[in-house]
Structure 1
Amino acid sequence: MKILFVVPYPVGKAASQRYRVEQWLPVLQEQTINYKLAPFWDVATLDILYKQGYSFQKLFGLVKGMLRRLLLLSRLPAYDYIFIHREATPVGPPWFEWLAAKVFRKKLIFDFDDAIWMPNTTEDNSMASNYKWHHKIAQICNWSYKVSTGNHFLQRYALNHNPNSVYLPTVINTTVNYSRIKDQQAKRVTIGWIGSHSTLLYLKLIEPVLQQLEQNYSFDFIVVADREPDLKLKSLKFIVWSEATEVESLLQFNIGVMPLPDTEWAKGKCAFKALQYMALGIPAVVSEVGANMTAVPDSLAGYSCTTHQEWYEKLELLLQDADLRAKLGRAGKQWVAQAFSMAAHEQTFLELFT
């Protein structure tokens, strides 16, 4: 069997791709299944893609990516399955997917972990969003052999267009990178958040809560991201994200947070931050939105919140009680191993290619 993974980014550069595609590759090797990855963006373009300016370089990188996709068409006959993570091209109609499915008659596996059929315009993507063709997601689902979705909200959408749509959460390798557990006996407690520039704005939802906590408690608030947050917090510490230090950065947290707005777009999020926290024995405090409600057993491995008052009370409780943090942390680690580990979903992944 030969599988072509059509992915947006170079290897090791994006969390979604690392956890939904790249970490499964050793499983394919164990099954003696051959594969190849075909990124759209090159490293040089990705390095400036989300920075201000560089318009010519970004356009040149886009043209190069489109040419790579055109050249890739000639290699499609060699593969049994074409696995498309999110989309084959970042702008324009789904011409690559149509040709692969309808002309080359290939079995498409379409995988996504966000509500990418909805417009989600930010300052970083405002120009590109005009050319995104969000409605193509329904078409790609319809043309696909199978669809793999990161949560049940996404699966319900996919099922409207393809009955062979399965739930495959973004999972954790609990036996390798996430085998350790946080020691909760700390002199100074740390609340933390990890993510990308695209979700930094969600921290504004709990900024007033953290400001109120600062008036009564001494703690650090660590943000691990690819861009420094704009938060008015005395407790703020910023760590630049890197794949090599990701787990070490997370292990600085005593408490992990994942605020989300109650929107349709947010319901497409797959609660992966919370899973990362819990896998390392760090209790998660999350907004009661979408997949968060499934991922975090309330009061067993962390807490779900809907109001500022609830956020304050739950964070205060955990700031004060190391034994409670340790208890919830152990339960969370066990829960992730049981329900959100690679071992728990390996068969679901492999059955995509049957």
Structure 2
Amino acid sequence: MQSAHQHRKKTQVGNRIFGWAADEGGCRYYRISLPLNALQVNGYDTHHHTVMPRAYNAWDVMVGQRISNPGPSERWQHLARQGRHKLVYELDDDLFNVDASSTIAYRFFSQLAVQDRMRQNIVAADCVTVSTEPLAERIRVYNPNVEVCPNYVPAWLLDHTPPQRQDGIITIGWGGSPTHSMDFAEVGPQLRRFLERNPQAEFHAVGTDYASWMRLPKDRCRFTPWIPGVETFFRTLDFHIAIAPLRPHVFNQSKSDVKVKEAAALGIPIVASDVGPYRTSVQHGVTGFLVKRDHEWAKYLRMLVEDEAMRKEMGAAGREWARSQTMEGNISVWEKVLCA
């Protein structure tokens, strides 16, 4: 399928870039704010907002994040017909395969009209940016010009010290949005038994109260509601050990390894499912552990809870790896796509 830009005259790309964000959440931070702010530091004129500016013709490049509603889609198609801008459709998840357990997202993105608009907007774009190669393969059936721009973390995380407890209680934690019910169904029973048998450990959920959802012991859990601002969210992460469960599912095949990168940059060892994006980014036994079988959640968590030296060694190794995973160190990846 050919994209619309192949049938219209393309203007020369300049260095004024506008990012049309979908919301104020983590996807905007990683896929719009972080790269455009880094490009600005490198001399480009960039701006991003959830509202399209009236003077949109002043911008050379328009990045549209998962545009799928009727009004924004009409504007996107209008821009495509004009042919004055380089149009970049940004997508960070396989929204054509959202699982029903993510009720809000599924209710919206499973609508045929929404999926049709997404396809049309992808087709109309000059190129599409995605975070992983599996997602790129999924999208190339609609537009052959797909560029993989991985999720990177801000460099300041490497120098930030998480505010961990010093009273002998070891915090196992996870933070994120309410779209991981199917993933925590994988780890819930194992984590519940682990906490019941290891009184020196607690579970801290940030953003979404999966502790309650998994029926973990209430006196062994803490919950911090979602905090506006991703960088404030980062400063809330006080884990000694991070976990990242992921169910083998078509949606998760296109997920990125950003949870691993966040933990590594903060010097926190991670226990993650041996699935998809985590399989290649977690160095098993070096920066954390990969879980292949259910009983291994308790095995690896116990090893880390009981061995402070192991936690520090793995955390340091993860942080060293994360030095190669910063936005500042990889901005050329985005520059080649948006500014070429």
Q: TM-score range by the shorter chain?
A: 0.7 to 0.9
Map of 1:78 onto structure 2: 58
Q: Does 2:16 align with 1:31?
A: no
> Structure 1 residue 347 and structure 2 residue 335: aligned?
no
- Partner deviation per Cα, 1:67-110 (whole Å, 9 max, x = no partner): xx6xx5x63322211111222x4468943332222334421112
Which blocks of at least 5 consecutive residues in structure 2 are unaligned? 1-14
In structure 2, the CA distance between the partners of 1:155 and 1:123, relative to structure 1 (3 Å rule), is closer
Within the candidate set 98, 106, 114, 2:93 is matched to: 114
Could you tell me how far apart the structure 2 residues matched to 1:302 and 1:131 are? 41
Q: 1:188 matched to which residue of 2?
A: 169
In structure 1, the gaps of 5 or more residues are 41-68
Separation in structure 1 between the aligned mates of residue 97 and residue 90 of structure 2, nearest angstrom: 16
**Superposed, which structure 2 residues align to 1:1-80 within 5 Å?**
1-9=15-23, 13-40=24-51, 75-80=55-60
Separation in 2 of the partners of 1:301 and 1:186?
A: 24
Give the SS at the match of 2:104: coil
The equivalent position to 2:184 in structure 1, one of 183, 200, 203, is 203
Find the partner of 2:78 among 95, 99, 117.
99
8 Å Cα contact 2:37/2:46 also seen in 1: no
Alignment partners' CA distance in 2, 1:168 and 1:299: 28
RMSD: 2.5
C-alpha separation in 1, matches of 2:106 and 2:71: 15
Q: Provide the secondary structure at the position in 2 that maps to 1:124.
A: helix
Give the aligned partner of residue 293 of structure 1.
Answer: 279
Residue 133 of structure 1 aligns to a residue whose secondary structure is helix
Aligned pair count reads 316
Q: Taking structure 1 as reference, are residues 232 and 172 closer, same or farther at Cα in structure 2, changes over 3 Å only?
A: same
Would you say 1:324 and 2:303 are equivalent positions?
no
Which secondary structure does the structure 1 equivalent of 2:329 belong to?
Answer: helix
User: Is contact 1:77-1:104 (8 Å) kept?
Assistant: no
CA distance, structure 1, for counterparts of residue 139 and residue 22 of structure 2:
20
Deviation at 1:7, TM superposition (A): 1.2
SS at structure 2 position matched to 1:344: coil
Q: Secondary structure at the match of 1:22?
A: helix
Match of 2:241 in 1: 255
- What SS does the aligned partner of 1:348 have? helix
TM superposition shift of 1:149:
1.2
Distance 2:216 2:171 in 1: 13
Q: CA deviation at 1:332?
A: 0.7
2:205 matched residue in structure 1: 223
Q: Equivalent residue for 1:172? A: 153
Name the SS for the 1:155 alignment partner: helix
Shift in alpha-carbon separation, 1:79–1:331, aligned structure 2, 3 A: same
Alignment check: 8 A CA contact 2:60 2:84 kept:
no
Query: Per-residue deviation at 1:315?
Result: 1.3
Q: CA deviation at 1:132?
A: 5.3
1:301 aligned partner, one-letter code: T
Cα–Cα, structure 1 residues 311 and 109, in superposed 2: closer, same or farther, change >3 Å?
A: same
Give the distance between the partners of 1:342 and 1:279, measured in 2 at CA. Answer: 12
Q: CA deviation at 1:167?
A: 1.7
Secondary structure, in 3 states, of the residue corresponding to 1:17?
helix
Distance (whole Å) between structure 2 residues aligned to residue 92 and residue 266 of structure 1: 29
Q: TM-score, normalised by structure 1?
A: 0.80
- How has the CA–CA distance of structure 1 residues 311 and 226 changed in structure 2, closer, same or farther, with 3 Å as cutoff? closer
- 1:204-238 per-residue CA deviation (whole Å, 9 max, x = no partner) reads 32111112212321211000015564231122210
Question: What secondary structure sits across from 1:307 in the alignment?
Answer: coil
Q: Report the alpha carbon displacement of residue 193 of structure 1 after superposing the two structures with TM.
A: 0.5
SS of 2:298 mapped into structure 1: helix
Question: So what's the TM-score if we normalise by structure 2?
Answer: 0.84
Mapped contact 2:98–2:106 kept (Cα < 8 A): no
Q: 1:195 to 1:80 in 2, by over 3 A?
A: same
Residue 158 of structure 2 contacts residue 319 of structure 2 at CA under 8 Å; is this kept in 1? no
- CA shift at 1:181, angstroms? 4.5
1:270 corresponds to: 256
Separation (CA, whole Å) in 2 of partners of 1:99 and 1:245: 37
1:292 CA drift (Å): 1.3
Percent sequence identity over aligned pairs: 22
Residue in 2 aligned with 1:141?
122
Residues in 2 aligned to 1:185 and 1:133: alpha-carbon distance in whole angstroms: 49
More contact order relative to length (CA 8 Å, sep ≥ 6): 2
